[in-house]
Amino acid sequence: MDSSLDIDTLSEISVIGYIVGRGNKTWMWSFRTLLLLFVNTTAGLTLLALLLDLQHLNDLTVPPYLQNAGLTTALAEHTQRVATRATTARLYHIFKTVVTTIAVNIIIRMDLVASLWTRVMQRFSGKSLQSAVFHSSWSFFTLTLYEYADVRLFSTWILTVAGSGLAALDPTSSRQYWWTLLVMLLGVVVWFISGYLVTSLKPQWRAAVFPILTLILLVQVAYDLGVEPDLVYKTSTPLPAGPVLSAVSSVALRCDFPVANVRFRMGRVGAGQTFGIYQNIVVLSGPDVDVLHPDEWAALAAREFGHWYYRDVITRVLLRLGLRFLWAPVALWLMTLDSFFPPFGLSVEPPLVVAFAVTELFAVQFDWMFHRFIGWIERLMEYRADQYAVQLVVQDVYVRAILKAAWVNEVPLSSARLYRYLISGVNSPYSRIRHFLE
């Protein structure tokens, strides 16, 4: 579960202020003032929550009920590693919140920035400069700055600097950060190329964007359902022979799941995942198989067998790829309509900035809606998998397993009371336990 406050979604609404602020009506100025108040208040609450979370991370202790449940030494050590990485992540989110908030305020109050910039340049050059030119350049600069923060390029830099210390705790951390850096750089390149192509194409060619996106969507679905399972199988390892394999095999045989397709790889404790339709693969993850009792590994595997039984893989792919990106063709189509801009007193120059502004505008509306809808569907899928799991294993063992996994993976990342109130996740382990106990 991503336990960081989604400041991106909240700050993207600033583009509305950027568009509305270009008009001259009184209500537009009032709306922009309220928007500034909302964004800055949200950023302030986020910073307060992150600072409280850092304080709680310094006093991290294992709760007694998990000590009594047989918390192994390996699991306790992994808890401290997670807390160390969580501290680095919190520092990054503080930095990102400050940078994003500054960029958002610049975007919304672009007219004041452009006016100030023009006065400064007139003082040094003695020439009358066109405010629109600087308005356009500053708009492009601040939107670029915002996108840089959005793709987490700064986080990659911070984590890479800290990689030498984290590499001693997690052997895969340094390699993971360098791969993340490469992906983020490619994301920035794709962002610029796609924006240039969309805004420079002729209308008749721009109309072809929709079928191209549809083709890309179909290729992505084919990859998730066909190619990815084979890659996961090759990059993971079989369960080592011993008590863990015996416990998982007994549960797999009860639900007719092939034991050879139960794999293991390095990762979060208990973060199992199901892949594929025709080639069904269940992957259990953790720093080592010794962090949990064999019966607890079997309990976590039973939950993934529930996802396999109900074909939740298909549901997740359709939801994430089909719904969350449904707004993209609509936004691209609206970019081609000149009649969309005059009511707001807008000029279509520069087209790149306006195109991204309109895209972000619709992304805010639809992405928020689909995020809540997907969260509701995922909660139902997790509840259903829990119900399936407790029919295969002892209920107390299953409760202990998901509590341990929740402790080492989630509690260090969301320990502050205010922070837990602000974040939004799929579901908490306690609500899941309460659901199948009732």
The b/e string for 202-224 (b: 16+ C-beta within 10 A; e otherwise) is eeeebeebeeeeeeebeeebeeb
pLDDT tens digit string along 204-241?
Answer: 665 565 566 566 666 766 776 777 777 778 778 888 88
Strand pairing category for 237-238 and 262-265 = antiparallel
Q: Where are the beta strands (DSSP E) in 368-412?
A: none
Q: How does pLDDT run across 324-335, given as a tens digit for each residue?
A: 555 544 544 544
Ranges of the chain whose pLDDT falls below 50: 1-27, 65, 68-69, 124-174, 176-177, 180, 183-184, 187, 191, 195, 328-329, 331-332, 334-366, 368, 411-427, 438
Whose structure tokens read 């609509």? 330
In angstroms, the CA 355 to CA 359 distance is 6
Question: Which pLDDT does position 119 carry in this prediction?
Answer: 56
C-alpha radius of gyration, the chain, whole number: 25
The reported pLDDT for the residue numbered 291 is 75
**Distance set, CA 222 to CA 218, 219, 225, 276 (Å):** 6, 5, 5, 10
1 contacts: CB under 8 Å, gap ≥ 6: 409, 410, 425, 426
**How many CB atoms neighbour CB 394 within 10 A?**
12
* SS3 of residue 375 by DSSP: helix
Eight-state DSSP code of residue 72: -
Q: Which helix (H) or strand (E) holds 221?
A: helix 209-222
Cβ atoms 391, 436 nearer than 8 A: no
Pairing mode, strands 262-265 and 273-275: unpaired
Looking at residue 216, its pLDDT comes to 63
pLDDT, position 380? 80
> Can you tell me the distance from the alpha carbon of 91 to that of 213, in angstroms, rounded to the nearest whole number?
37
- pLDDT confidence of residue 365: 44
Distance (Å, rounded) from C-alpha 323 to C-alpha 334?
A: 19
Tokens of 287: 């720093």
> What was the pLDDT predicted at 357?
47
Q: Is the pTM of this model over 0.75?
A: no
Q: What are phi and psi of 265, to 5 degrees?
A: -150, 160
